[in-house]
Structure 1
């Protein structure tokens, strides 16, 4: 999977699944970005294994709201006359919604991704589609860079912003997202943008998917809030196929 240094991106070979996007009102299927391309070749000999997310996250149950529990009602020995208050205020149907619509940041190209928990502080390059419809990723010699899928939303905009990166490379060893699987819910991801603003995100989920079950709709589908999807490879390295068996997907929501 070697490539000349003057070629900034390379195509995908394995499949992540088929991301879908709306283009001019028509649903268009895009070939997904390659798991193999996110990996390059395995590290030899005896490479360190990247951390993997937990298969099952513990369930979180909300604390009971005791104040909301209705007070017990006791029957009175003598009936109490009831009174009906005259309606006041505005009928519910006429009241304006108290929940504001989500507001995203204006579109701006991302320049850097910072993930304090795993000590990532990497520059971002823009990637798009190759002529065959596959998603571009940084070359293996640029495996310390992350790639922003410029066809989708920019980080902070309403929608899914997608950032991809290698997990390792024979050329440099552990790559930009080598420790991505070590993230947990609540961790923070920051993306610096060309307009000087920083979009901050809080991790919602960290999951590992077999390449045959890549969650295309989660990563590439529409979203009514500002989301960030960070993707790399995971699972075990298959020497025969020359790639990892899984993809790690970190889904995060923007912190207003």
Structure 2
């Protein structure tokens, strides 16, 4: 029997929309958090640039001009940590580009509109760092059919997951668990920013309600570094 998900179903990967709800409020950064890189300060120079102007420039001997002072440029902040740009599950044929995503105006975690792309929830951990790195994607879309994470429901424990970073390195994980959760009951700890490093992949699953164009469940795959 098909189930109609509640109107405010947590962690919903809508078939035609781009909303991932629920759980995220446990890990959302404090107010004022920004993912924008720290701007590089402008290079400062000394105020003196030569002698004051004279009525007749030729009357000021070049030898009398003071040396132009110079201050060192402000230090450039270190480059940002590498972020995910691709995810692969070779056994399932998943090989998809990854885009950073945040939350929309309604407070829902965004999902790439393109069903062939996966979103990295940028307020979750970076791969290899403390806490969960969360990747989300569509199981399918009305316009494109099967999405990037369509095969996720067939993931088996031990399967290899590779996350490629923008510095060219790859983080390897092994699947430790695959579960389905009703959208209203998605565990908040999936979004934890503490504890051992891990990877969480989420897509839709369960019964599909054609009236609301929404699935009843979320398929969640958890993986640990290899």
**TM over 0.5, yes or no?**
yes
**Residue in structure 1 matching 2:93, options 119, 128, 131:** 119
How many Å apart are 1:212 and its aligned residue? Answer: 1.5
Superposed, 1:105-116 pairs within 5 Å as 107-116=81-90
Is structure 2 residue 129 aligned with structure 1 residue 157? yes
- Output one character per residue of 1:37-89: Cα deviation in whole Å (capped at 9) or x when no partner: xxxxxxxxxxxxxxxxxxxxxxxxxxxxxxxxxxxxxxxxxxxxxxxxxxxxx
Secondary structure in 2 matching 1:180? helix
Q: How many residues align?
A: 163
Is structure 2 residue 194 aligned with structure 1 residue 220? no
Secondary structure in 2 matching 1:138? coil
**Residue in structure 2 matching 1:20, options 26, 29, 34:** 26
Secondary structure in 1 matching 2:184? helix
Is structure 2 residue 140 aligned with structure 1 residue 134? no
- TM-score between the two structures when normalised by the length of structure 1: 0.59
User: Which runs of structure 1 show a deviation greater than 6 angstroms over 4 or more consecutive aligned residues?
Assistant: none
- Over aligned residue pairs, what C-alpha RMSD do you find? 2.1
How many Å apart are 1:107 and its aligned residue? Answer: 3.3
Q: Which of these two proteins has the greater Rg computed from alpha carbons?
A: 2
**1:240 match:** 211
- TM-score between the two structures when normalised by the length of structure 2: 0.67
- Specify every segment of 5 or more residues in structure 1 that has no aligned partner in the other structure, as ranges: 1-9, 27-105
- Specify every segment of 5 or more residues in structure 2 that has no aligned partner in the other structure, as ranges: 1-16, 32-79
Secondary structure in 1 matching 2:199? strand
**1:195 match:** 167
How many Å apart are 1:157 and its aligned residue? Answer: 1.7
C-alpha change, 1:11 and 1:176, in structure 2 (3 Å) is closer
How many Å apart are 1:240 and its aligned residue? Answer: 2.2
Secondary structure in 1 matching 2:150? coil
